[in-house]
Chain A
């Protein structure tokens, strides 16, 4: 069974631009979560989607948004990029509540 797939692996954007990251969960997994990883703040929860609905949200500004499609694939969008948005963005999927999260290899975003 294929794991969680995130595309692209690397992105370089300019401050003020917007970016969309994509995540394909493991087949059958309906929950998709997004995390931001930075050297300074560590791993922080962004949001979780389940059956196309946002179920939980972390403490990030409204510039960070996401959505989930009927096939459980998810995208996250960051608008008006700031230098501090440079990070590894990790997507994780799970089969059901209480099941372990399976992480993708992440998308490394660099904002210049």
Chain B
């Protein structure tokens, strides 16, 4: 069965520092991979999506992620954190049985300190 592992349930950075949120997936074939962000009392908002067109994917709000098949990783980065980036981030992979059946990681809560 496919799975997604997010290393670090909590990550804390200073404003202006690099953000790195880690995600590893298990899949026998190149999947669709996603990063979503969730703000308090809201649903999930898509940050970016990997569909095999390019290994480096740029998303909204300055975030990007690099797909590395050899490492089965899809880490999310942002060069300079803003206070508004504080939220919970979820990595997800589409299930082999259905594009819209997503398997989510446990999430990483990002805190940004002044």
Interface of A is mostly: strand
Q: Chain B: which residue is nearest A42 at the CB level?
A: B106
Q: Which of A11-19, A66-74, A79-87, A103-111 is found at the contact surface with chain B?
A: A103-111
Query: Once the chains are docked, how many angstroms separate the CA of A105 from the CA of B38?
Result: 10
Q: Are B90 and A43 in contact (CB under 8 A)?
A: yes
Residue of chain A at shortest CB distance from B42: A105
Specify which chain B residues have a CB less than 8 angstroms from the CB of A31 in the assembled complex: 100
Using C-beta atoms within 8 Å of the partner chain, give the interface range for chain B: 20 to 34
Summed over the interface, the residue pairs from A and B with CB atoms below 8 Å come to a total of 61
Which residues of chain B (7-55) have a CB below 8 Å from chain A? 32, 34, 36, 41-46, 49, 51
Chain B interface mostly? strand
Binding site for B on A (CB under 8 A): 4, 31, 33, 35, 42-45, 48, 55-56, 58, 90, 92, 94, 97-98, 100-106
Report the bound CA distance from A43 to B37 in whole Å: 13
Q: Which residue of A lies closest to B92 (CB)?
A: A43
Q: Say yes or no for B101: interface residue by CB 8 A criterion.
A: yes
In the complex, the answer to whether A56 meets B100 with C-beta atoms within 8 Å is: yes
A94 and B44 in contact, given A42-B106, A43-B90, A100-B49 (Cβ under 8 angstroms):
no
- The 5 A-B residue pairs with the shortest CB-CB distance in the complex, in nearest-first order: A103-B43, A43-B104, A103-B44, A56-B98, A97-B99
